[in-house]
Structure 1
Amino acid sequence: MSGLGRPGVAAVKWSAASTVARFALQLMAQVVLARTLGPEIFGIFAIGMVVLTFATFVSGFGFSWSLLQRETLSDEDVRFAWTWQLIVGLATTLAVYLLAPLLAAYFREPRAQSVIEWLSLACLLGAAAQPATYLLQRDLNFRAVGLVQVGSYAAGYIAVGLPMALMGRGEASLVAAWLVQVAVQLAASYALKPHPVRPLLWYADARAAVGTGHTVFFTNIVNWVLNNLDRVLIGRLLNAQALGLYNVAYNLATMPNTLLLGALQPAFLAAGARLQNDKPRLGRAYLQMLATIVVLGLPAFVALAFVSRDIVRVLYGPAWSDAAWVLGTLFLCMPAYVIWGLSTPVLWNTGRKHYECLLQLPLLAVGALGFYLLAGQGIHVAAAVAGGLLVLRAAVVATAAFRALDLRATALLPDALRGLLLSALCAAGALGAQHAVARFDIALLSLAAGALAAGLLPGLLLLLRPQLLGPDASDMVIRFVPGLANFLRRPAAAPASALPVALGEQHP
């Protein structure tokens, strides 16, 4: 039986469904906005978002996170978290607004000042929405969480952002879209999960909540620095145009990952919190998720990397052509990002909540030095440094997660070999098809041919030898698509001994 159990599987299914819907909306909106506004305006908005993400971590602090981690909850727990979320959120909003001139001066972009000032409101709105959001996640009500995410994004970007951009409102259209999205998320989350809002500054168990919040806060700060060093230094050392190109490529590369982690990580964290005292089941769930990522996710991202140039040409047009190399480089490193995101809940659910922050501290120095020395050489070099940093983070945190669960990293080796085999087939198919249609110089044709061929070779291999998925990835697929059980578990056409030893091994 899967370590996630039925409630966890149901939660991930709802998260995945909302992920697909949100991905479609986000891709459509971002493509139209990018074509309409251009790299420079996106770069100005990206400066505001770098500031906002940092301020959001500060305003959140982690009070609401404790609601997800506690085994039992009282009204006092919720009231305390709500009260302090509002206090810190309001303080952060005021601080960001007052610092906006200095922050714009740091990035040498005066137009960013008004963007930062308006986005400061999102600190308060986002902080106020967190208690209801975490309470919904605690209930494994990812149907409601998904509907809120999709509905708020549609309200912000489809109903407000796109019309304003088409009317020529520039960066104001992106700012308005973000603020509307956060406001709708606050209203909808509270409507779906009403909670006590009477202020409470202190109570008997407050110290435990503050301790959790303290850990979440510093962990988030470390993660923010590691995730945003590239944009902070590109914005400072280059210009808004370069930052816009880099940021759109980065967002497109991480969009599947962000949405995938948005579906899997909260569900795994919430379900894992219930398995804190059942390490074998938690370890089994973790191995199955990692196996699925390396066997199916790695080939998918390799295929995307090899068609990245065509993706940029088709979606964004010639004005964004310099973003293609950045996109391809980051696509190759995205599986590491997912592995990192799935490993952090293991540390939290095994009493090692400080590890995520402490283990990544040395990487701060490595990343800061790399970006400082190399980011000024252009966005291509910055992308290579960013990708390398993602791989390092995944290796460090995943190693700690394996140790926490008493697992051996070699348990994942057979699945890694499967993933590399399928990835090589994806790359060969994409390159061959692109070469075959290169003389026509039609971006859409090249993209379609490359994408289809990338899926054809591994698809045929798995059709003939479904056992190559491996037991863990197969079991995870079956948990979500039971109709494939007979196909994936059918006997192999050849004896198991005829298969390569590494591919025929079973996980303990």
Structure 2
Amino acid sequence: MTGNEQNDASASKSSLGHKTAVAFSWGVFANLLKIALTLVVQGAMARFLGPSAFGLFAMGIMVMGLASYFADMGISTRLVQQQTIDNDDIAFALGINLMMSGLIAFGVVAGSDYLALFFGAPEASLIFKTMAPVFVINSVASVSVSLLRRNLDYRTIQLANLGGYVVGFAIVGMLCAIFLASAYALVAAYLTQALVNFLMLYRNTRHAFRLDFSFRKRGEHLAFGGTVLATNLINWCGGSIDKLIVGRTFNVQSLGHYSAAYNLIFAPIGALYQNLQSTVFSSMARMDADKPRMREAYLELVRAISLLVLPAFVCAYMLAHPLVLVVYGAQWSASGAFAQVFCLMAPLQLLWGISTPVLWNTGRKSVEASVQIPFILLSAVSMGLAAKHSSLAVAQVAAVAFCLRTVTIMMLACQTLQIGARQFALAILPALVLSACTGVVAWLVETQLAALHVLALLRLVIGGLVFAGTMVLAVLMVPSLIPRTLAAILQRLSARAPQWAHPILKRMNSGQT
């Protein structure tokens, strides 16, 4: 390789790293705004609507989630992974998506009564019919999303998601909740969000609406899409069987408590998960299966993500009950126990999210789906048995199953990148130690405050401050805890931080020198 070629390669890596960092930063910024907004809006709507409305909406979301995979079939994702694309590729993706989404929407409308009968909730039939148009809207929007992801333009994607949520839930949803006071407030918000999101995305891509159905020329696309579809369906089963069993076995109110607790804990993680996985997938797709680069990036991501989320969710586990009371109100107190279980699952989703792109970009697309099947079958049987005891028992079994599946996927990623057990342990050990420390402190504080019957809001505030103080103290004492990625962010922040914060930031960053 000549000097110029080396310089070009170095510049390419630098450019890719910069674009990846910018893309993820935009995602984090937009998602932090959305998380804060979600807590306020969802909490307000929960107080207006109650558990039954959330239970009915959760049934609709389950049906939408399953059927939406057939509506897209992974064809749009292929646009991201291809090194080069043309207008014919876009037209084929758009044509397949529109055809499949139309068929799926018709099928949901035609079978809505049977779906409602399955859940034992006849009132859910109209919910399914009303939500069906979202299949078509989202399938077209997915083409725009893929085109933006190719360019790592997550700024546009996140702004569209945020704009859709603001108009859909914060405005339309809240108004409908006040005046309708039924599950249809959530349905109206969902429809509006999808439409606004699509319009904002398409405004920035302006791709032609030409349809191409030349299946014979698109064997690779269909094969890739089939693998994506199979993987998504298995992931849906793994993530939704628990809710399906709760909705089928217990009443609508029970599903409402279950889904509301799940949303409270997983909404912030879910938003970060989508952004993180998309960013890592797009970035690794451009590494051309360069395993040393991928290995370094993966270990750095494990260090940073585990350090950020594991201690936070251990603390959240201790504060789950006051959190539910503050956000949802006293009528939702039964959701607190579910929220605790979900706190143990949530951080693992992000670690899963950075492991999947490794498999997909190293020629192991089908592995993720195949290794999960035994776990899902076993967990489905176990959750069915647990349902004879309580809906909380179902959540506990689901948590154990999710942990086992996540560990398996991460082991496969490490095997693919030739990461040894010692390397991985060194990457995640600081987060485990810090989680244990913050967990013990949070437990001691919450136990004492609960025994003194302190108000939920005050318990939550004090617990959060104690957690933040413990984290800062630990990092000041051992600056080397901070991974390089986070240290670089701190260094950039130090230039804009107030004067009194400079010594603290400098101390935190000293472990990287």
Which category describes the TM-score, using the shorter chain as reference length?
over 0.9
The correspondence for 2:169, drawn from 112, 132, 157, is 157
- In the alignment, is residue 461 of structure 1 matched against residue 474 of structure 2? yes
- Distance in 1, matches of 2:87 and 2:17, equals 29
Quick one: which of 403, 415, 433 aligns to 2:415? 403
- State the partner residue of 1:53: 65
Q: Structure 2 matches for 1:205-354, cutoff 5 A?
A: 205-354=217-366
| Offset at residue 412 of structure 1 (A) | 2.0
User: The residue matched to 2:74 in structure 1 has which SS?
Assistant: coil
Distance in 1 (CA, whole Å) between partners of 2:490 and 2:383 is 43
How many residues end up aligned between the 2 structures? Answer: 489
Q: Could you say which residue in structure 2 is the equivalent of 1:478? A: 487
Distance 1:43 1:491, change over 3 A: closer
- Aligned equivalents of 2:103, 2:444: Cα separation in 1: 56
CA contact (8 A) 2:342 2:399 kept: yes
Note the alpha carbon deviations across 1:390-416, whole angstroms, 9 max, x for none: 111111111111111111132121233
CA contact (8 A) 1:306 1:427 kept: yes
What is the alpha-carbon distance in structure 2 between the residues aligned to residue 492 and residue 233 of structure 1?
49
Give the letter aligned to residue 462 of structure 2: A
Structure 1 CA distance, aligned partners of 2:447 and 2:404?
34
What amino acid is the match of 1:482? Q
* Range moving further from structure 2, 79-88 or 177-186: 177-186
Offset at 1:445? 1.2
CA–CA separation in structure 2 for the residues paired with 1:171 and 1:318: 20
Q: 1:182 matched to which residue of 2?
A: 194
The one-letter code sitting in structure 2 at the alignment partner of 1:475 is R
Residue 17 (structure 1) aligned to one of 23, 26, 29? 29
Deviation (angstroms), 1:83: 0.6
Q: CA–CA distance in 2 between the matches of 1:43 and 1:53?
A: 15
In 2: Cα distance, 1:46 partner to 1:463 partner: 44
Counterpart of 2:458 in structure 1 is 445
- CA RMSD in angstroms, aligned pairs only: 1.8
Instruction: Name the CA distance, whole Å, in 2 between partners of 1:420 and 1:209.
Output: 42
2:245–2:387 CA contact under 8 A, matched in 1: yes
Q: What is the rounded CA distance, in whole Å, between the counterparts of 2:64 and 2:409 in structure 1?
A: 26
TM-superposed deviation, 1:203: 6.5
Q: 1:163 to 1:326 in 2, by over 3 A?
A: same
**Which residue of 85, 91, 113 maps to 1:101?**
113
CA offset at residue 426 of structure 1?
1.3
Residue 467 of structure 1: how far off its partner (Å): 1.5
Q: Which piece of structure 1 moves more, 367-376 or 86-95? A: 367-376
Amino acid aligned to 2:507: F
- When normalised by structure 1's length, the TM-score is 0.93
Contact 2:273 / 2:349 at 8 angstroms: preserved in 1? no
CA deviations 1:164-222 (Å, max 9, x no partner) are 00113411111110011111111111111111211211167411111111111111110
CA distance in 2, matches of 1:87, 1:480: 45
Contact 1:59 1:88 in 2 (8 A): yes
Residues 425, 454 of structure 1: 8 Å contact kept: no
Deviations 1:42-100 (A, max 9, x none): 10111111111001111111111110110001110000000110000000000011110
Distance 1:367 1:143 in 2: 38
Residue 150 of structure 2 corresponds to residue 130 of structure 1:
no
When residues 192 and 312 of structure 1 are mapped into structure 2, their CA distance, relative to the original with a 3 A threshold, is same
2:211 partner SS? coil
Tell me how far apart the structure 2 counterparts of residues 491 and 429 of structure 1 sit (CA, whole Å): 25
Q: Which secondary structure does the structure 1 equivalent of 2:136 belong to?
A: helix
Contact 1:9 1:480 in 2 (8 A): no
Does structure 2 retain, via aligned residues, the 8 Å contact 1:295–1:415?
Answer: no
Contact 1:399–1:409 (Cα < 8 Å) also in 2: no
* AA in 2 matched with 1:452: L
Q: Deviations over 1:306-332 (max 9, x none)?
A: 100110111111111111011011102
1:487 aligned partner:
507
Residues 60-99 of structure 1 mapped to structure 2, 5 A cutoff: 60-99=72-111
Greater Cα offset, 121-130 or 96-105? 121-130
Q: Separation in 1 of the partners of 2:145 and 2:447?
A: 48
Deviation at 1:241, TM superposition (A): 0.4
Relative to structure 1, the CA distance from residue 460 to residue 481 in structure 2 (aligned partners, 3 Å threshold; closer, same or farther) is closer
Whether contact under 8 Å (2:48, 2:181) holds in the other structure is no
**Which secondary structure state, in structure 2, belongs to the residue aligned with residue 194 of structure 1?**
coil
**Equivalent residues of 2:478, 2:511 under 8 A apart:** no
Q: Percent identity?
A: 30
Contact 2:40 2:327 in 1 (8 A): no
Other-structure match for 1:120: 132
- Secondary structure of 1:64's counterpart equals helix
CA contact (8 A) 1:153 1:181 kept: yes
More displaced 10-residue stretch of structure 1: 238-247 or 287-296: 287-296
1:486 deviates by 4.6
Distance 1:491 1:321, change over 3 A: closer
Structure 2: unaligned runs, 5 residues or longer: 1-9, 495-504
2:370 corresponds to 1:358: yes
Residue type of the alignment partner of 2:470: L
Give the conservation status (yes or no) of the 8 Å contact 1:82–1:199.
yes
Matched, 1:197 2:206: no
Counterpart secondary structure, 1:490: helix
* Offset, 1:492: 9.8
| Aligned 8 A contact 2:299 2:427 in 1 | no
Higher mean C-alpha deviation, range 129-138 or range 421-430: 421-430
Q: Which amino acid aligns with 1:289?
A: L
Task: Describe the shift of the 1:123–1:492 C-alpha distance in structure 2 as closer, same or farther (beyond 3 A).
Answer: closer
Alignment-derived partner of residue 7 in structure 2: none
User: Take 1:215 and 1:76, find their aligned partners in 2: how far apart are those partners?
Assistant: 21
- Contact 1:425–1:458 (CA under 8 A) maintained in structure 2: no
